[in-house]
Amino acid sequence: MANNSKTKVVTGTVRLSYANVWEPKSINGGAEKYSVSVIISKDDKKTIDAINAAVDAAIEEGLAKFGGKKPNKAAIKLPLRDGDTERDDEAYAGSYFLNANSQTAPQIVDQNVNPILNRSEVYSGVYARVSLTFYAFNSNGNKGVAVGLGNIQKVRDGQPLGNRSSAEDDFGTIEDDFLS
In tens, the pLDDT along 137-149 reads 999 889 999 999 9
Task: Write the single-letter amino acid at 24.
Answer: P
With beta carbons less than 8 A apart as the criterion, state whether 37 and 16 touch: yes
Share of the chain above pLDDT 70, in %: 88
Distance CA 52, CA 45 (A): 10
The structural domains of the chain, ordered by start, are: 8-179 (2.40.50.140)
The answer to whether 7 and 54 are in contact (CB under 8 A) is: yes
Phi, psi of 20 (to 5 degrees): -100, 70
Residue 137 has a CB neighbour count (10 Å cut-off) of 16
Contacts of 137 (CB under 8 A, 6+ apart): 62, 65, 143, 144, 145, 146
pTM value surpassing 0.85: yes
Residues 41-69, mean pLDDT to the nearest whole number: 96
Greatest CA separation for the chain: 75
- Does 171 score more than 80 pLDDT? no
